[in-house]
Structure 1
């Protein structure tokens, strides 16, 4: 006996299908989980010292003894990649934190206050967005000094304009919502409406953007380290490992291994961000 399909039944089916997590997203979460585990407890994944090598083991190819091979000093490349994860992840988190806090605050004030405040802050954001993000990061880190923390600060400042623009647009959209107007009519204060209604609803898109920016920050910070704007050797930032490895063309794993880890991490974070945007 067939059961008639009603509109409510189709809605339930669609909702049930929407809750299914695609395999690519599961794989992306697994990659990110591994990377985060490397950054929190690198000693659990490798027993090799990332800074001290064995001269007789120079330029060994990937194998069971050294998963990613060894470098010109006989250091285990897998250990260097794993121990360098903490610096890359921490720097990306700092960059995202600066972008979310500074950019979100600028967008929130501009969108909610309106008037001349919105005009002034909007022009400031336009100036930030007019400068290429990577170029702005290079200028800032050159002024602050060549360290990974400064590279993270520079990356965060370069992302302020993007977060401010998204937050402002979401605040303007939320201000026109019916429930906000109803709160005004019921005598709600501006602070109550801002904190109770506008900020929680406007921050959803910003949080999704923060996930995407985390992956972009890893890429930008790796690019800065590749150009020499990060910590000097014997640091093992991913970008620095790639930069050092390119000097030894007969040992291509010195470039391929950290580059593939960087690419896999960034693509996984981007895939998670797209999935979160669709399910929002």
Structure 2
């Protein structure tokens, strides 16, 4: 009895320690919460207009009145970054939903049914993987038209293959589990087993991938906006702000401010994704 009692507190402590969120992850959640708040209610964080500026205040450096400085038209850059968050975040969310739903469905069907279904869908995924993601996004957005929503659709389609491969691998692993075989022996139908047992267990790995892809989608959409494939001015997408700022290199805050916000958001999402994989 004395040998067992000391082990109980150790086990409890180790479990609590395992549930403890690292400070870097907490900081990442704070950054993402701030970005989401910017996108939902930008008016709560700035009173300046993102479109109308004061010509006399053009190209002012960062100060208490203008945290990120002003641009060449006298517009407050912090207000433009905050108001541009909604477009950047919503378009990245659209891209992730398209990639997760389409790719997850392809991987689910290919991994569960196998045979000619797996072969056909696997060839489709191979074709998508053979084309660089950014190049595929450029091709699609060129066909659809220059618009942030179309850029989001193009980004989502270019990431379908990644979700399909992950989901297929997880479905094949789950399909071989004992509880799935037991369900077959008890007379469960294929669709019942697919929806009740395979899908919930196989989709656990999709969440960290979705968080990671959310950050990558922000980068891709910002890159497309930088090249002019997004909404035209006076829109304030992060990539467009960087593109405008590159023409005024003597005033570096025009590039640094939206670039640092983009990088900070993506790094925070990557850290959260890595933590989710470790705690799965």
1:267 corresponds to: 267
Q: How does 1:151-166 map to 2 (within 5 A)?
A: 151-166=151-166
TM-aligned CA distance change 1:8 to 1:198, over 3 Å: farther
Query: What is the CA distance between 1:207 and its match in structure 2?
Result: 1.6
Write the distance in 1 (CA, Å) between the matches of 2:67 and 2:31: 17
Q: TM-score, normalised by structure 2?
A: 0.97
Deviation at 1:9, TM superposition (A): 5.1
Unaligned runs of 5+ in 2: none
Q: Distance in 2 between matches of 1:140 and 1:70?
A: 34
SS in 2 for 1:232: coil
CA distance in 2, matches of 1:121, 1:10: 49
**Does 1:207 pair with 2:207?**
yes
- Which residue is 1:220 aligned to? 220
Distance (whole Å) between structure 2 residues aligned to residue 212 and residue 13 of structure 1: 30
Cα displacement (A) at 1:122: 0.5
TM value normalised by structure 1: 0.97
Aligned to 2:136: 136
CA distance in 1: counterparts of 2:5 and 2:65, whole angstroms: 60
Structure-to-structure mapping, 1:11-160, within 5 angstroms:
11-160=11-160
Distance 1:192 1:142 in 2: 42
**Displacement after TM superposition at 1:11 (Å):** 3.8
Aligned to 2:194: 194
The size of the alignment, in residue pairs, is 279
Alpha-carbon distance in structure 1 between the residues aligned to 2:34 and 2:65: 20
SS in 2 for 1:73: coil
> 1: CA distance between counterparts of 2:89 and 2:140?
20
User: 1-side partners of 2:80 and 2:249: how far apart?
Assistant: 19
Cα deviation digits, residues 64-118 of structure 1 (max 9, x gap): 0000000000000000000000000000000000001100000011011100110
* Residue 176 (1) aligns with residue 169 (2): no
Displacement of 1:14 = 2.6
1:153 offset after TM fit, Å? 0.4
Residue 250 of structure 1 and its aligned partner are, at CA, apart by: 1.1
- In structure 2, how many angstroms separate the alpha carbons of the residues matched to 1:235 and 1:115? 49
State the 1:182 CA deviation. Answer: 0.7
Change (3 A) 1:245 1:5: farther
Q: 1:13 deviation in Å? A: 3.1
5+ residue gaps, structure 1, are: none
For residues 245 and 9 of structure 1, the distance between their equivalents in structure 2, rounded to whole angstroms, comes to 57
The RMSD of aligned alpha carbons is: 1.3
Match of 1:68, SS state, is: coil
Q: In 2, Cα distance between the equivalents of 1:254 and 1:19? A: 41
Shift in alpha-carbon separation, 1:4–1:182, aligned structure 2, 3 A: closer
Cα distance in 2, alignment partners of residues 28 and 176 from structure 1:
36
Shift, 1:127, TM fit:
1.0
